């Protein structure tokens, strides 16, 4: 009887062993944490010359808005950054004056801090995502993230309309980003973002670009203070001056 019970126990152990052993843990997602600086391909122009294309596929209505804005700020190319206001997406990601950014990665949220204007983006995963009706429109919008293998996919909506960006857009804009890690010719980490801007109110077709950063193991971010009201007040002054000139007798 003892031997029979022992054999049955051994058989049960063998049959149930796989159920008792924890399933293999899937490989962790890439850790993007750290300080990243703009990566310049050998022979490529410096960041100051990579702001944006001279020609974008604007709709007629968008072109009129952009032209009106550029006429308002004048030939000097006045900008939000000159008045301490952050660039907003996608320019905060594509350019930001060539300043570095810091990525802080947690399972439920990835935080990106751009040194320029101290702009902060929060990329929310499923457990942190709020309903669309509860999102507040902002220059950097609201970003939802998920992983597809080793690729981080980020969708940004709830954007404010901006004519003052290198990539102007309406509040209908959607920015889809796909981040992945690769290596430079020297074997150092490079972060690549393939992104697409879709906006039926401003563009006749999607605008797609790529941005790269190099990891800076010893890098730090420096303080950078900004104030949106200063820029808005300046724009209002420009509008008043333009209206006064139009009303003045010739």
Place of tokens 């007040």: 233
pLDDT score of 47:
57
pLDDT score of 79:
82
pLDDT score of 54:
64
Q: What is the mean pLDDT of each run of 10 residues along the chain (250 residues)?
A: 39 36 55 94 65 80 95 82 85 84 96 92 94 95 97 98 95 98 93 98 97 94 77 88 86
- Which pTM value belongs to this model? 0.78
Identify how many contiguous H helices and E strands the chain contains and give both numbers: 4, 9
pLDDT score of 76:
75
pLDDT score of 53:
61
Closest residue by Cα to residue 85 from 232, 222, 221: 232
Please check whether residue 104 is in contact with residue 120, taking contact to mean a CB–CB distance below 8 angstroms. no
């Amino acid at each position: 009887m003892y031997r029979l019970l022992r054999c049955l126990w051994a058989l049960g152990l063998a049959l149930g062993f796989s159920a008792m052993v924890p399933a293999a843990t899937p490989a962790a997602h890439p850790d993007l944490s750290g300080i990243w600086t703009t990566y310049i391909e050998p022979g490529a122009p410096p960041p100051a010359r990579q702001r944006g294309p001279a020609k974008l596929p604007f709709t007629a209505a968008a072109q009129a808005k952009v032209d009106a804005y550029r006429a308002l700020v004048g030939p000097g190319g006045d900008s939000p950054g000159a008045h301490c206001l952050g660039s907003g997406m996608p320019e905060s990601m594509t350019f930001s004056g060539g300043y570095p950014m810091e990525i802080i990665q947690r399972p439920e949220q990835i935080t990106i801090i751009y040194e320029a204007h101290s702009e902060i983006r929060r990329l929310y995963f499923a457990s942190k995502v709020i309903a669309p009706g509860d999102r507040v429109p902002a220059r950097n919008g609201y970003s939802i993230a998920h992983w597809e293998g080793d690729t981080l996919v980020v969708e940004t909506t709830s954007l404010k309309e901006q004519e003052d960006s290198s990539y102007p857009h309406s509040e209908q804009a959607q920015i889809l980003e796909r981040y992945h890690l690769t290596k430079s010719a020297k074997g150092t980490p490079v972060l690549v973002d393939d992104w697409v801007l879709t906006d039926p109110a401003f563009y006749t077709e999607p605008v797609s670009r790529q941005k790269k950063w190099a990891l800076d193991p010893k890098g730090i971010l420096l303080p950078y203070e900004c104030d949106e009201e200063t820029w808005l007040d300046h724009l209002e002054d420009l509008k008043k001056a333009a209206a006064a000139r139009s009303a003045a007798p010739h």
